[in-house]
Amino acid sequence: MLVLITYDVNTETPAGRKRLRKVAKQCVNYGQRVQNSVFECVLDAAQCRKVQHLLEEIIDPETDSLRFYYLGNHYKTKIEHIGAKPSYEAEGLLLV
């Protein structure tokens, strides 16, 4: 299923900037960055619970936030892209 992960981490302190880097690093391990704090991740249920738990352990819930949007398996008709940064095939070959 396609899961959209978004986050807002307070970066007013050095600790906040460190949390931001850690959250981004974990998200890169599971999906494709489509905007600064937005990742599209193709995950199964177990992977989804794992990444959610990892991210919850990193953030400070008093100042930061996470949002998970579950778009399911038929997500292709639910996404429309306009503008810069060409779209990509989420389940296609990803070259690094």
pLDDT in tens, 44-94: 999 999 999 999 999 999 999 999 999 877 776 777 777 776 665 655 554
Find the farthest-apart pair of alpha carbons in the chain and give their distance in angstroms, rounded.
41
Q: Quick one: pLDDT at residue 88?
A: 56
What is the Cα–Cα distance from 27 to 51, expressed in whole angstroms?
A: 8
DSSP state for residue 80 in the 8-state scheme: -
Question: In whole angstroms, what is the distance from residue 75 CA to residue 42 CA?
Answer: 10
- What does the pLDDT look like over 14-30, one tens digit per residue? 999 999 999 999 999 99
pLDDT at site 92: 59
Helix (H) or strand (E) run with residue 55 in it: helix 45-58
pTM of the model: 0.80
Which tokens go with 19? 């949390």
> Rounded to 5 degrees, what angle do the CA atoms 14, 47, 80 make?
80
